[in-house]
């Protein structure tokens, strides 16, 4: 694991955007795995600004998002479909037909997940997978549990995730209880992984991801076994980790 310490959120976002830009410049037809959450918003903003200047071109890129709430339409403002359009896709020159997010509007979990696995496999898996990390060490919506998950599957969100994500809803009752998420095995198939994290509330999870035992109770810890994983995190998120 490569760990890059940044002074603050802005620095983290710019460095992460640089890594993603380099990927797209080196391989214009890159397959990117993308993430939602508050953490990558600054990265997406920076990429959009560079795209507007003509410094990075997404016209041939295709994207596969990690996860989506089950039961929300693609137009629902709380859906990750909507999040990706408003925070990223609407601001870059990507062909929307090349963007993919699990279909949370399909109530048939098996069909929705199987179809997503088929598409990701057909695309050859991401060249670069961007990840945030949950406070309990989750990646995508792969929550702590007795084993590491494989392909795309339906999950029941944990109380801690529902609580953490409720800040983006009017009330906790409105947070969907289930989601479809790419599995840990699929995430590990990506040829490179970039994790972004900021803030003190992520310090425990970041420590366990980088230095704890590889344990499905902290799903992100498996990233220690990936051969090309970079963590870009600010001082606060790395405050429990030893300085290199």
210 binds ligand GLP (CB under 6 A): no
Query: 138 catalytic, yes or no?
Result: yes
Q: Site for ligand GLP (CB under 6 A): how many residues? A: 14
Cα 2 from Cα 11, distance rounded (Å): 17
- As measured in angstroms, the least distance from the Cβ of 55 to ligand GLP is 25
Does 67 participate in binding ligand GLP (rule CB under 6 A)?
A: yes
Characterize the bridge pairing of strands 193-197 and 128-131: parallel
Is the Cα dihedral 74, 76, 79, 82 positive or negative?
positive
C-alpha pair distances (Å), 88 with each of 64, 121, 186: 13, 24, 23
Residue 161 sits in the site that holds ligand GLP (CB under 6 A): yes
One of 15, 33, 37, 87 touching ligand GLP (CB under 6 A): 37
Active-site option among 68, 103, 117, 143? 143
Position 186 contacts ligand GLP (CB under 6 A): no
Nearer to ligand GLP, 12 or 61 (CB): 12
Among this protein's residues, is 143 annotated catalytic? yes
The whole-angstrom separation of Cα 75 and Cα 73 is: 5
CB of 53 to ligand GLP, least distance (A): 26
Binding of ligand GLP at residue 234 (CB under 6 A)?
A: no
Distance CA(242)–CA(20), nearest Å, equals 26
**74 belongs to the catalytic site:** no
Q: Does 33 bind ligand GLP (CB under 6 A)?
A: no
| Pair 208, 169: CB distance under 8 Å | no
Residues 6+ apart with CB under 8 A from 121: none
Site for ligand GLP in 123-142 (CB under 6 A): 132-134, 140-141
Rounded Cα–Cα distance for residues 29 and 38 (Å): 27
Using CA of residue 216, residue 217, residue 221, residue 223, what is the dihedral sign? Answer: positive
Listed ranges 34-42, 97-105, 108-116, 145-153: which one lies at the site for ligand GLP (CB under 6 A)? 34-42
Catalytic residues: 67, 136, 138, 143
- Residues of this chain that interact with ligand GLP (CB under 6 A) are 35-39, 66-67, 132-134, 140-141, 161, 165
């Amino acid at each position: 694991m490569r760990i890059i310490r940044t002074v603050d959120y802005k620095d983290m976002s710019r460095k992460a955007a640089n890594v993603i830009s380099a990927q797209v410049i080196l391989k214009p037809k890159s397959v990117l795995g993308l993430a939602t959450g508050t953490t990558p918003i600054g990265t997406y903003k920076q990429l959009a600004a560079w795209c507007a200047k003509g410094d990075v071109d997404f016209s041939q890129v295709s994207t596969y998002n990690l996860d989506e709430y089950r039961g929300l339409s693609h137009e629902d403002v709380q859906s990750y479909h909507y999040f990706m359009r408003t925070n990223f896709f609407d601001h870059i020159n990507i062909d929307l037909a090349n963007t993919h997010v699990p279909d949370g509007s399909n109530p048939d979990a098996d069909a929705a997940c199987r179809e997503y696995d088929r598409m990701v496999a057909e695309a050859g898996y991401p060249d670069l997978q961007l990840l945030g990390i949950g406070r309990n060490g989750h990646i995508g919506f792969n929550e702590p549990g007795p084993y590491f998950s494989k392909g795309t599957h339906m999950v029941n969100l944990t109380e801690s995730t529902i609580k953490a994500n409720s800040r983006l809803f009017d009330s906790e009752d409105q947070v969907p209880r289930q989601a479809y998420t790419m599995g840990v095995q699929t995430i590990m198939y990506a040829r490179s992984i970039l994790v972004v994290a900021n803030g003190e509330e992520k310090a425990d999870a970041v420590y366990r991801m980088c230095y704890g035992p590889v344990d499905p109770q902290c799903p992100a810890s498996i990233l220690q076994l990936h051969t090309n994983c970079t963590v870009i995190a600010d001082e606060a998120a790395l405050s429990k980790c030893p300085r290199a």
